[in-house]
Chains A and B, each alone.
Chain A
Amino acid sequence: MIPPMIRDATIFSCLLALLSTGLTLTYMTTKVPNFAHGSFAAMTTYITLILVKILKVNPYFSVGLGFILGGVIALILYQVILKPLLDRGASYIVLMIATIGYDMILYSLINILADYLNRTYKISTRLYILKSYDFRVFHQPCIFIVAPVMAVLVIVSLYFLLTRTRFGIAMRAAIENPALAGVVGINVNLTYAASWFIAGGLAGVAGALLPLWLMCNPDIGGRLIVSVFAASIVGGLTNIYGAFLGGILIGMAEVLGTGYLSLTVGTWIAPYRPIIPLVIMAVTLLFAPTGLTGIGLRFLRRSGKR
């Protein structure tokens, strides 16, 4: 028997890892923290809702659809909004404002969709959860197996993409030094667009799986974004494996920490859950602004000298 708290923590941290890996990937390419990342996921939660409640099919079809929709949304942000700004040499502060503006557009579209579905199909589209539509595998909810498998699959395939394929190596080169990569004939814009598509896709997958375990609402993107940023900052913001680890760490700390504190201090503490990622983020910024990977590298270098 697996304790429910562990199950909670595993599912949440795996989904968070998907989100923070994507966020870091876009940060590495365009050097802008994408404030719309949470809304990518919020958008695809509604795919799952539509599939389950209206089309009445298997909720896991939404993983593929979510990847595509999330990718397309992210690609639009990059190609239509950020690319023209970057070409004009806009500062990253302007880019950040642009992502907030895009977030607002997505947020209103999500709400419009929610209102529309609610009025047309008479289904609840706010504060909904689809836990009861999940299957049971080995006496466990299916999401408990799918979320970790998906997370591992994603990080392993990203590793192979970035180190074993020509395209991945071109992508890393374009991230490292766009001007030089351009000189040797790499299509920098294409690699960046691909990064954004992948990042949006990962957020889309996480969003598609979310309603099977957590209560969803149009504003879930805004609620997730603090945890996602905390995870990425703990991961160092420049390393996708760090971001993955950061996602797992923050997810575990949030769920287990809140669970443990509710048991020892009292249940009144449970709603203050968002403070945990914030505190971890603040401590990271104060004492190790380069994040987990920064500490890891320093440690490796030091031990290498001996």
Chain B
Amino acid sequence: MIPLALTFIIDLLALLGIFIIISLSLNIEFGYAGIPNFGKLLAVAGGAFFIGAVPGRVLAYIYGLLKKYDYIDNNVEVMYALGKILGTNPFMSMAMLVVSLILAAAVGAILGFIASYPAIRLREDYLAITLLAMAEILRTIGYNYKDLIGGTVGISVPDPFRWIGGELRLALAASVIMAVAIIIFIYVELLSRSPIGRTLRAMRDNEVVAEAYGKDIVKLRMKTLMIGSAIGAIGGALYAFLSGSVTALGYDRVVYTFWPWVMVVIGGAANNFGVLLGATLFVTLRKLIIFYKSNLQPFLPFDVVWLEYLLLGTALLIVLIYRPEGIIPEKPTHTLGKKRLEKIKELVEAKEV
């Protein structure tokens, strides 16, 4: 038996990990590279839709289930059979998880490339509009094209965490998500300290100067969007595995574009710890609101969720106007260590002599 408070925390951690991943990906795009990606939903939904559409089909094909059933129409039966198989086979479950995540990242990168292609050479506002529109289109396709992820009904996802059994499933899911989030955090932190991180900041601060120093702005932007979208897609894929199903309607602009923006802006753009703080604050606050929702509801003549949106929108605007750098502002770029600098100096001097 896991106590209720602990379940609450585990649930919170799982969701937190997903939003940390998504907002870190936005931090690469917006914080470091200055690209206003208003289509974060595109990558997240792309990853989730991929998980809904592909891994289950492949497994069903491997185990010969597709001869008997139609994957979409008999989704329940297929999932029941797959659940039995995966439930007793931890190795297969985890292999599916890892392979799916890698492929989802690839799908995200491709989507990021396609979506940004028409406007990648233009000013950022055109890019923002295009990305936003592309995200809406992906949602429309997911909603209407029944063969992809079951259209309006949605689709179940093979559960990679089932084998551990019962109550521990959520704990395993949360730890896997947290582990991925930590890996991505380290990756983004290293990226921001690497030469490409500094190049991205240069591009953000002054495009013309960066171009004058021989940086290919278009290529850089495209790379950034592909990396960002790949990470975003991993977030979406993990969410699909966590919730066990994918419905196109569940992926909307508010949750997967607007919320990450709030987290990044309030926490502090171009500072990964700021983003971490923003995501933590935000997800905890939301969980608490949902937890206390029933106590609040009788006093309001409307659904509590709208009050939440109202507060978030207002908070975002207040931060933008009064503290545009966020709670934890950007730190100066890390330079090389003193010893390495001295070594380089020696090398240079040796050459000059």
Query: Which residues on A are within 8 Å of B, measured CB to CB?
Result: 32-33, 35, 81, 84-85, 88, 90, 92-94, 96-98, 100-105, 107-109, 111-112, 115-116, 119-120, 222-223, 225-226, 229-230, 233, 271-272, 274-275, 277-278, 281-283, 285-286, 289
Tell me the smallest distance from the CB of A291 to a CB of chain B, in Å: 11
> Are A101 and B310 in contact, CB atoms less than 8 angstroms apart?
no
Partner-contacting stretch, out of B73-81, B163-171, B182-190, B253-261: B253-261
> Are B320 and A97 in contact, CB atoms less than 8 angstroms apart?
yes
Interface residue B158 (Cβ < 8 Å from any Cβ of A): no
Chain A residues near B314 (CB, 8 Å)? 101, 105
Chain B residues near A230 (CB, 8 Å)? 133
Query: If A286-B118, A289-B126 touch, does A81 touch B321 (CB 8 Å cutoff)?
Result: yes
Query: How many angstroms between the C-alpha atoms of A116 and B124 in the bound complex?
Result: 39
> Are B34 and A275 in contact, CB atoms less than 8 angstroms apart?
no
> Are A98 and B126 in contact, CB atoms less than 8 angstroms apart?
no
> Are A104 and B137 in contact, CB atoms less than 8 angstroms apart?
no
Query: How many angstroms between the C-alpha atoms of A96 and B37 in the bound complex?
Result: 11
Chain B residues near A289 (CB, 8 Å)? 122, 126
Query: Which residues on B are within 8 Å of A, measured CB to CB?
Result: 30, 34, 36, 38, 118-119, 122, 124-126, 128-130, 132-134, 136-137, 140-141, 143-144, 253-254, 258, 261, 265, 301-303, 306-310, 312-314, 316-317, 320-321, 324
Tell me the smallest distance from the CB of A25 to a CB of chain B, in Å: 16
Q: Which of B129, B144, B316 contacts A97 (CB under 8 A)?
A: B316
Query: If A274-B137, A282-B118 touch, does A33 touch B129 (CB 8 Å cutoff)?
Result: yes
Q: Which of A222, A233, A275 contacts B137 (CB under 8 A)?
A: A275
Chain B residues near A81 (CB, 8 Å)? 317, 321
> Are A104 and B36 in contact, CB atoms less than 8 angstroms apart?
no
**Nearest chain B residue, comparing its CB with the CB of A104:** B313
Query: If A97-B261, A102-B317, A271-B140 touch, does A108 touch B310 (CB 8 Å cutoff)?
Result: yes
> Are B320 and A285 in contact, CB atoms less than 8 angstroms apart?
no
> Are A32 and B125 in contact, CB atoms less than 8 angstroms apart?
yes
Chain B residues near A102 (CB, 8 Å)? 313, 317
Q: Tell me which of B30, B124, B133, B301 has the highest count of chain A C-beta atoms within 10 A of its own C-beta.
A: B133
> Are B320 and A282 in contact, CB atoms less than 8 angstroms apart?
no
Interchain residue pairs with CB less than 8 A apart (12): A33-B129, A85-B321, A104-B312, A108-B310, A112-B302, A115-B303, A116-B301, A116-B302, A225-B132, A229-B133, A230-B133, A271-B143
> Are A98 and B137 in contact, CB atoms less than 8 angstroms apart?
no
> Are A101 and B303 in contact, CB atoms less than 8 angstroms apart?
no
Query: If A108-B307, A274-B136 touch, does A285 touch B130 (CB 8 Å cutoff)?
Result: yes
Known: A102-B313, A285-B119. 4 other contacts (CB 8 A): A35-B132, A81-B317, A97-B316, A100-B38
Query: If A107-B309, A115-B303, A119-B301 touch, does A93 touch B124 (CB 8 Å cutoff)?
Result: yes
**Nearest chain A residue, comparing its CB with the CB of B322:** A84
Query: How many angstroms between the C-alpha atoms of A191 and B76 in the bound complex?
Result: 61
Query: If A104-B258, A107-B309 touch, does A115 touch B302 (CB 8 Å cutoff)?
Result: yes
Chain A residues near B125 (CB, 8 Å)? 32-33, 92-93, 96
Chain A residues near B119 (CB, 8 Å)? 285
Query: How many angstroms between the C-alpha atoms of A154 and B23 in the bound complex?
Result: 43
Question: Closest 10 A-B residue pairs measured CB to CB?
Answer: A115-B302, A104-B313, A108-B309, A105-B313, A101-B316, A282-B118, A108-B310, A271-B144, A108-B306, A285-B118
> Are B324 and A120 in contact, CB atoms less than 8 angstroms apart?
no
Chain B residues near A88 (CB, 8 Å)? 324
> Are B310 and A100 in contact, CB atoms less than 8 angstroms apart?
no
Query: How many angstroms between the C-alpha atoms of A120 and B301 in the bound complex?
Result: 8
Query: How many angstroms between the C-alpha atoms of A105 and B306 in the bound complex?
Result: 9
Chain A residues near B324 (CB, 8 Å)? 88, 90, 94
Tell me the smallest distance from the CB of B59 to a CB of chain A, in Å: 29
Query: If A35-B132, A93-B34, A120-B301 touch, does A272 touch B306 (CB 8 Å cutoff)?
Result: no
Query: How many angstroms between the C-alpha atoms of A32 and B126 in the bound complex?
Result: 10
Q: Which of B143, B301, B310 contacts A105 (CB under 8 A)?
A: B310
> Are A96 and B133 in contact, CB atoms less than 8 angstroms apart?
no
**Nearest chain A residue, comparing its CB with the CB of B262:** A101
Chain A residues near B313 (CB, 8 Å)? 101-105, 107-108
> Are A33 and B128 in contact, CB atoms less than 8 angstroms apart?
yes
Query: How many angstroms between the C-alpha atoms of A35 and B128 in the bound complex?
Result: 10
Query: How many angstroms between the C-alpha atoms of A93 and B118 in the bound complex?
Result: 19
**Nearest chain A residue, comparing its CB with the CB of B309:** A108
Tell me the smallest distance from the CB of A275 to a CB of chain B, in Å: 6
Tell me the smallest distance from the CB of B325 to a CB of chain A, in Å: 11
> Are A97 and B133 in contact, CB atoms less than 8 angstroms apart?
no
**Nearest chain B residue, comparing its CB with the CB of A289:** B122
Q: Which of A35, A112, A119 contacts B310 (CB under 8 A)?
A: A112
Tell me the smallest distance from the CB of B344 to a CB of chain A, in Å: 35
Query: How many angstroms between the C-alpha atoms of A119 and B134 in the bound complex?
Result: 36
> Are B301 and A98 in contact, CB atoms less than 8 angstroms apart?
no
Chain B residues near A103 (CB, 8 Å)? 313
Tell me the smallest distance from the CB of B265 to a CB of chain A, in Å: 6
Tell me the smallest distance from the CB of B121 to a CB of chain A, in Å: 8
Query: How many angstroms between the C-alpha atoms of A262 and B277 in the bound complex?
Result: 50
Query: If A93-B34, A278-B134 touch, does A285 touch B126 (CB 8 Å cutoff)?
Result: yes
